[in-house]
Amino acid sequence: MTGLLTIGAFARAARLSPKALRLYDELGLLVPAEVDAASGYRRYAPEQLERARLVAWLRRLGMPLARIRVVCDLPPAAAAEEVARYWAAVEAATDVRRDLAAFLVAHLSPEPEDTTMTTTPLAIRYAVRTDRGLVREANQDRAHAGSRLLAVADGFGPYTGPDQLADVAIEELVRLDGAIPAGSLLDALQDAARRAGAAVRERVAADPALAGGGTTLTALLWSGSRLALVHVGDSRAYLLRGGELFRLTHDHSVVQELIDDGRLTEEEAASHPQRAILVRALHGGDEPVTPDAEVRDVEPGDRYLLCSDGLHTVVGGAQLRAVLLAEADPDAAADRLVALANAAGGPDNIACVVADIVAA
């Protein structure tokens, strides 16, 4: 074949590195026109430059590789729409981070003694559900909602009796469900999460029936206009604000790592055989596990959803948002979410907490 470019020449023309080109080939994003069977040398056709440039531009936009692959395979008009959709989501996520940054600036600034600042007193309304689902023999999911604390824990392991590792974890946190100074919110919740991890480790070590068991833990502790979040595993916390649903947690799972690397799309992940395998959880291992932790601002009108994978694996984000928008009452919303998971086959235990922050 003539007219083909070496990987070096093509990389220069496309303003991509040869290393990036090899990765894009591996991912099926930009496959060379010819690969020499003997040497493995890749050669590219000049017509491929257009696609390569599009890939480079989308990377500069920060778009994940899996999504770039989708855009590249669309006709131009649909590709334009997809880029617009992606950018709208980036801006929405940035808004949430901007709020967090503003909160942190205020939080870290020396506080004036003046307390005349007008703040709206806030209250919480909540609903909590756990459900066995339609397939599992026992329910190992646990959930808690109180005036200060919201938590879900998805227990796993061979033991299916009443006193679950998820209970052990939540019991440690429930002690926090009282008045806590807003300034020490995150410390208090992180300490409790650490105690929960230690309690789970001790319990597993003490009882052979619990070998191989563990639990996820996702919890929110709320005080004043602030909220602390700790998270380990693949249960999730979401925030519905201004009609948009934001995911506040990152799954500690094998498939999430594949998604982060651009090797899998969210859609592909839903049916991936390894989707339930966790890379982090509270369990019986030797090493203490560090949960993700952060502090966020709270606004009247915020609605929080905490749920185990028994809900979010079978009920997608758009459907979660639709239910949370449609059902004003937290109890009605929680009931409908559990019903939807069971309507989708109820393949796993389901835990969910729906909580509204309202002006008191």
- In the complex, least distance from residue 296 CB atom to Mn ion, rounded to whole angstroms: 25
Length of the chain: 360
Residues 6+ apart with CB under 8 A from 348: 133, 135, 136, 308, 309, 310, 313, 314
Cα angle: 227, vertex 231, 235; to 5 degrees = 115
- In the complex, least distance from residue 215 CB atom to Mn ion, rounded to whole angstroms: 10
Report if residue 131 touches Mn ion, rule: CB under 5 A: no
Contact flags string 272-311 toward Mn ion, x per CB under 5 A: ------------------------------------xxx-
Report if residue 335 touches Mn ion, rule: CB under 5 A: no
Q: Whole-angstrom Cα distance, residue 170 to residue 150?
A: 10
Q: In Å, how far from its chain's centre is CA 188?
A: 23
Q: Whole-angstrom Cα distance, residue 286 to residue 253?
A: 20
Comparing CB distances to Mn ion, the nearer of 54 and 166 is: 166
Q: Whole-angstrom Cα distance, residue 219 to residue 232?
A: 9
- In the complex, least distance from residue 312 CB atom to Mn ion, rounded to whole angstroms: 10
Contact flags string 309-328 toward Mn ion, x per CB under 5 A: xx------------------
Contact flags string 10-39 toward Mn ion, x per CB under 5 A: ------------------------------
Counting residues that bind Mn ion (by CB under 5 A) gives: 5
- In the complex, least distance from residue 244 CB atom to Mn ion, rounded to whole angstroms: 26
- In the complex, least distance from residue 324 CB atom to Mn ion, rounded to whole angstroms: 20
For residues 139 and 352, is the Cβ–Cβ distance under 8 A?
no
Comparing CB distances to Mn ion, the nearer of 82 and 348 is: 348
Comparing CB distances to Mn ion, the nearer of 253 and 308 is: 308
- In the complex, least distance from residue 276 CB atom to Mn ion, rounded to whole angstroms: 7
Comparing CB distances to Mn ion, the nearer of 16 and 314 is: 314
Helices (H), the chain: 7-14, 18-26, 49-60, 65-72, 76-108, 165-174, 185-206, 254-260, 266-269, 309-312, 317-326, 330-343
Using CB under 5 A, pick the residue from 131, 251, 327, 348 that binds Mn ion. Answer: 348
Residue ranges in 133-172 that form contacts with Mn ion under rule CB under 5 A: 154
- In the complex, least distance from residue 275 CB atom to Mn ion, rounded to whole angstroms: 10
Comparing CB distances to Mn ion, the nearer of 131 and 348 is: 348
Q: Whole-angstrom Cα distance, residue 235 to residue 353?
A: 11
The percent helix, strand, coil of the chain (3-state, each to 5) is 40, 20, 35
Comparing CB distances to Mn ion, the nearer of 222 and 238 is: 238
- In the complex, least distance from residue 141 CB atom to Mn ion, rounded to whole angstroms: 6
| Among 113, 293, 54, residue whose Cα is nearest residue 193 | 293
Comparing CB distances to Mn ion, the nearer of 131 and 309 is: 309
Which DSSP letter does residue 4 get?
P
Q: Whole-angstrom Cα distance, residue 317 to residue 89?
A: 13
- In the complex, least distance from residue 251 CB atom to Mn ion, rounded to whole angstroms: 12
Q: Which helix (H) or strand (E) holds 293?
A: strand 292-297
Comparing CB distances to Mn ion, the nearer of 154 and 167 is: 154
For residues 204 and 283, is the Cβ–Cβ distance under 8 A?
yes
Comparing CB distances to Mn ion, the nearer of 141 and 327 is: 141
Comparing CB distances to Mn ion, the nearer of 172 and 309 is: 309
Q: Whole-angstrom Cα distance, residue 347 to residue 134?
A: 6
For residues 237 and 249, is the Cβ–Cβ distance under 8 A?
yes
- In the complex, least distance from residue 135 CB atom to Mn ion, rounded to whole angstroms: 11
Give the interface with Mn ion as residue ranges (CB under 5 A): 154, 308-310, 348
